[in-house]
Amino acid sequence: MASFYPVLQLGDPTALRDFLVQEFGFVVTFDSGWYVSLRAGNYELGLVKAGHLTISAKAEVTSTGFRLNLEVADVDALYQKMIVEGGHTELLGLRTEEFGQRHFIVEAPGGVLIDVITRTAPI
């Protein structure tokens, strides 16, 4: 296998592209308007416009109930930037879990949920 990465089908892949670039520093490596390839370090994520001609008619659904877990160095700083100052929709408030993570969940464009996480020592 040469590569492996998820691809989300969305009504508007450019809205999620812009969100991930602005809020998490993803880099756009390819963008045709209907397909976007993003990279963050060694990680890649594809976004495709639902209903595009390259997708089977049987698979023309948008991604739903999907959550991306993004581990970051300072979850508190991102919470301040995104929720307190940025006004993004918070779905789970910032909290520390006994199993060893501090996190919050934010709603991204297209209904994608992003769980922003910093690992901590278990309580």
pLDDT of residue 11: 87
What confidence score (pLDDT) does residue 84 get? 97
Both 55 and 16 in one domain: the answer is yes
Q: Which of 37, 63, 89 is the last residue of a domain?
A: 63
Range of the domain at 117: 65-123
Residue in the structure block whose two tokens are 């991102």: 78
Taking the chain (123 residues) in consecutive chunks of 10 residues, what is each chunk's mean pLDDT?
A: 88 94 97 95 93 69 77 97 96 97 95 94 92
Same domain, 58 and 70: no
Number of folded domains that form the chain: 2
What confidence score (pLDDT) does residue 120 get? 96
Residue for token pair 């970051």: 72
Instruction: Please tell me the predicted confidence (pLDDT) of residue 1.
Output: 76
89: three-class secondary structure by DSSP: coil
